[in-house]
Chain A
Amino acid sequence: MNWVSENIALIGTLVLLGANILLLFPSTGRKSGIPGFLLLPVTVAGLGWVFLQPTGDLVRDLLFYMASGTAVLGGLLMTTQRNPVYAALWFAVATLGVCGLFVINSAPFLAAVTIIVYAGAIVVTFVFVIMLAQQEQGSGYDRIPQQPFLATVLGCLLVGTMLLGIEKTFGPDSSRLSVDRTALHVSSLPVENDLGSPGGVGRSLFTDYLFAVELAGTVLLVATIGAIAIAPRRPQGSL
């Protein structure tokens, strides 16, 4: 019980989050989602109160709150939307929030590439497929979640475990806060103004992580060839 009382804030927020998600889930019995939406600001504020410590830089803090709030809100609404098109759009919003976090942490290249790949291509493909497959609202069993309670509890447990793990590893009490760079065999540390720029990312990728990059490239190539091999061949071309 000692542990519970120590982490009462975390557990309380997670319970609040779970209750909110359950209220937001579409169900057959309840028509209105208003209680869930009313609880939403409380949940986001609670999450912020537990996990966010202001750094003192007002502009940076405000930008951080906006970006992270967008990401969390987008994620919550994505999972609880009845309409798959809305879900895909909220996913795009969540991606934009995460990219805002990247920009704040001086990684503009990563942010731009994430937006191009996720928001600009993958979600567009999702929406494309949804619009193709589903002109009407979908059948009844598609429109309500089958195991809302179990899914919410397990999801919140997973989030709690991850948060605890991150706090134990990188939190203010941990001794591993300052990562020993020499132990990682990182030879070319990017200089300060090079950090996160295309040049810095490229140099890091093609010197320190060359093997991983080549491996990933090979796997992608094999996957591409496999996709082409699987795709149906028709006598008049495959379009």
Chain B
Amino acid sequence: MSWEFFLVTLITIGVAFGGLMGTIAYLILVERRLAAFIQDRYGPNRVGWAGLLQPIADGAKFLLKEDVIPGYVNKTLYILGPSIAVFTAMAGFAIVPFGPVDQAPSWMRFVIAPDVNIGMIYIFCVGSLGVYGVILGGWASNNKYSSLGSMRASAQVVSYEIPLGMSIIGVVLMTSSLSLNDILMHQAKFGILGWNVWTQPLALLIFFVSALAETNRLPFDLSECEQELVGGFHTEYSSMKFALYFLGEYAHIITVCFLTAILFFGGWQFPLIAEADSAYLGATLVKVVVLLTKVLLIILLIMFIRWTIPRFRFDQLMNLAWLGLIPMAALNILVVMTAKQFDWPIWTLPLGSLAIFVAAGLIGTSGKFIVSDQTVDFGESPEGYAHVHS
């Protein structure tokens, strides 16, 4: 623990934190412009050139607005809620490499905590604490809609943590390591064909869907759906505390996109320009740019999904996790384990994924096992309605 180590860590934290905050500010602008594009509107385009100064105006507004704490809330937990949301989202980023770790310049490291040997488990560990932000905020608000939102959030997050964790076990088995950088290097060694997306397409699907649910993004934002719950768990929040919840959500999304890019799309690896052994001048910079481009593309995909797919009903959401994703993830682990144990050729893995996916689809649409689409006449009796929604 020398002074240089300390200084390098501080610089790395500064770069990561500053980059994250700036990106989040502009992601909100991108999201609003994209929403406007999809809904055939203009979106915010008045502040600065094409609305580029809008995030600064938004930030100033958040900071300068009156900080309202309603009189009927539980003050301690009301303030603790957004703090936990931001803290866990930021702490999760600590082990995510945002560049080629072994080619880092001497004054920076490209990952805040390099030697965490539990790797991915750390992210799940911190992420599983993130639900407290939503639960405490909703409960402390002393508002029925907030409570309903936070109860939905707790059930949803606890359920989707299981497929999220199970989906990456296949990837971890292929690499024999939990460290994100090891997983990245393992893919980079084999070029574009070594990306885990070719061998683990089903794991990617499960991971991505569960991650969307974990971040409370549409189509899984049951905890804050405006049409049913006003604002959900953050109904009573305003000004900077509301902004903190948003900040936590976007930081969570960025972490998830980094994870997707690193676990399944080879991280900074790209054919010809950024291979594992390319060491020309500026190769480090090119690799960082490649990784960030992949992350940006995945973020844009998430934003497109938000304005494309409608929201689930709550029982559909639960059934998707427990009847769809978890059995598929378990079978996927089984396929990877068997293939690894008996040294099956690598092309059996995508075939296995495809087989599981097709089988799940056939079972799901055959009508014999459908439990989610109950056709209940809501108009007939109030008990029928209460029955389905209890």
Tell me whether A128 and B128 are in contact (CB under 8 A).
no
> Cβ of A108 and Cβ of B129 under 8 Å apart?
no
Inter-subunit contact A125/B151 (CB<8 Å): no
Distance in Å: Cβ of B151 to nearest Cβ of chain A: 6
Of all chain A residues, which has the CB nearest B128? A120
B117 near A131 with CB under 8 A, answer no
User: CA of A237 to CA of B319 in the docked complex: distance in angstroms?
Assistant: 11
Expressed in whole angstroms, the minimum distance between the Cβ of B170 and any Cβ of chain A is: 16
A17-25, A43-51, A109-117, A210-218: which one contacts chain B?
A: A109-117
Given A112-B122, A131-B151, A198-B121, decide whether A237 and B374 contact each other with a Cβ distance below 8 A: yes
Beta-carbon contacts under 8 Å, A85-133 to B: 85, 89, 92, 108-109, 111-113, 115-116, 119-121, 124-125, 127-128, 131-132
Q: With a CB–CB cut-off of 8 A, which chain A residues contact B374?
A: 236-237
Is A152 on the interface with B (CB-CB < 8 A)?
no
CB distance from A32 to the nearest CB of B (A): 18
For B117-150 the 0/1 string (1 means CB < 8 A from A) is 1100110110011011001100100000001001
Q: Which residues of the partner chain B approach A115 to less than 8 Å between Cβ atoms?
A: 125, 128-129
Contact A124–B135 (Cβ < 8 Å): yes
Q: Which residues of A contact B125 (CB under 8 A)?
A: 111-113, 115-116, 120
- Counting contact residues on chain A (CB < 8 A from B), the size range is 20 to 34
User: Does more than half of chain A's interface fall in helix, strand or loop, or is it mixed?
Assistant: helix
Within 8 A of A (CB), among B105-119: 116-118
- Produce 1/0 per residue, B184-213, CB < 8 A to A: 000000000000000000000000000000
What sequence of 0s and 1s flags, for each residue 41-59 of chain B, a beta carbon within 8 Å of any chain A beta carbon?
0000000000000000000
With a 10 A CB-CB cut-off, give which of A121, A124, A135, A198 has the most chain B CB atoms: A124
Q: Are A239 and B319 in contact (CB under 8 A)?
A: yes
* A120 touching B178, Cβ below 8 Å: no
Picked from A119, A132, A239, the residue with its CB within 8 Å of the CB of B128 is A119
Q: Is A197 an interface residue (CB 8 A)?
A: yes
Chain A residues near B (Cβ < 8 Å):
85, 89, 92, 108-109, 111-113, 115-116, 119-121, 124-125, 127-128, 131-132, 135, 197-198, 234, 236-237, 239
